[in-house]
Amino acid sequence: MLSKSQARTFFLGGTAVTFAIFLGLSWNSLVNEVPAQTNAHLLNAEVVRGKALWEKNNCMGCHTIFGEGAYYAPELTKVYERRGEGYIKAALMSKVPWAPRGRKMVAYGFSEEQANDLVAFLKWAGEVDLNGFPPKPDVKR
């Protein structure tokens, strides 16, 4: 039967091994995969300012991006492709709550420049290689 010291060895050994593998895989992802999959060369000042605005206003508190967020408002990874620049800017710059089908968005009333930054961020996000996410609908209505 398993002794206490064997159990401890299992815990410490298992942890050390899996953690080492995890660090190795993480390193590989960050060095070899992220630059190519996320088009790191396209991260210009506009995109970075857009990301800062995205965080500063907690957009993730309602929307999702890369599937991460709060599911109260639409997934925005492909919004640039889906809605186009004009629609996105109208929603961002609106002085009254944007409320398609009655569900309200905070009326941020962003400036033209801020809206452009956010559009740049969303356009960049739309081009990231997400291993096939979001899936294409495949059932006929």
Partner 1 sequence: MKYESQKVAYWFFAAAILLLSLQITYGFIMGFARMGYDGLHEFIPFNTARATHTNLLVVWILLGFMGAAYYIIPEEAQRELVAVKLAYAQLISFLLVGVVAIIGYHLNYWEGRKFLEIPRPLDWLVVVNVLTFLGIILTTLYKGKTRTTTAMVLAMGLLFAALLYLPGMIWFDNQTMDSFFRWWVVHLWVEGVWELIMGGILAFLLIKLTGVDREVIEKWLYVIVGLTFLSGVLGTGHHYYYIGVGKIWLIVGGIFSMLEPLAFLAMALFAVAMYRKGEKRHPNKLALYWTLGTAIMAFTGAGLLGMAHTLPQVNMYTHGTLVTAMHGHLAFWGAYGMIVFSFITFAMPNLTGRRLYDTVNGQLAFWLSNIGMIGMTMAFGVAGVAQVYLERKTGLEFGAVQQELEVHFFVLVLTATMFATGIILYIIEFFRYGSPQDEAIGMEEDLKTIY
Q: Pick the piece of the chain touching partner 1 (CB under 8 A) from 83-91, 111-119, 133-141.
A: 133-141
CA distance 119 to 23: 34
Q: CB-wise, 86 or 135, nearer to partner 1?
A: 135
Stretch that binds partner 1, among 88-96, 97-105, 112-120 (CB under 8 A): 97-105
Q: Is the dihedral of CA 129, 134, 138, 141 positive or negative?
A: negative
Site for partner 1 in 1-60 (CB under 8 A): 2-4, 7-8, 10-11, 14-15, 18-19, 21-22, 25-26, 28-30, 32-34, 37-38, 40, 43, 47-48, 51, 54-60
Closer to partner 1 by Cβ: residue 23 or 113? 23
- 74 contacts partner 1 (rule: CB under 8 A): yes
